[in-house]
Structures are given as structure tokens and as C-alpha cells.
Amino acid sequence: MNGPSLCADRVHRKITQTYLGFISSSLRKFKSLEKYVYHVH
């Protein structure tokens, strides 16, 4: 009982970290794009 739940928790944590990393990188790209557009106009 303890083994599978521990494994699932680890997988869930990894998915969460990947998702958060994707969001933060997307936000960073969006901010740099916004800055670029602001400078162009």
C-alpha cells in the first residue's frame, strides 16, 4: 500500500514541477515579447 502511493506522489510532484517550469518560461517569453513590441511601437 505504501509503495504505489509513494511512487504516485513522486510522479505527481515531477509533473507539477514540469508544469510550473513551463508556465514560468512562458511568462518570461511573453514579458520579453511585450517589451520588444513596446520598443518597436
The separation between the first and the last C-alpha atoms of the chain, rounded to the nearest angstrom, is 60
pLDDT of residue 41: 63
pLDDT of residue 18: 97
pLDDT of residue 21: 97
pTM: 0.57
Residues 1-39: tens digit of each pLDDT: 567 788 889 999 999 999 999 999 999 999 999 888 888
DSSP state for residue 1 in the 8-state scheme: -
pLDDT of residue 25: 96
Q: Tell whether the torsion through CA atoms of 6, 11, 17 and 19 is positive or negative.
A: negative
The CA–CA distances, whole Å, from 18 to 8, 11, 32 equal: 15, 11, 21
With CA atoms as reference, report the closest residue to 5 among 17, 13, 16, 18. 13
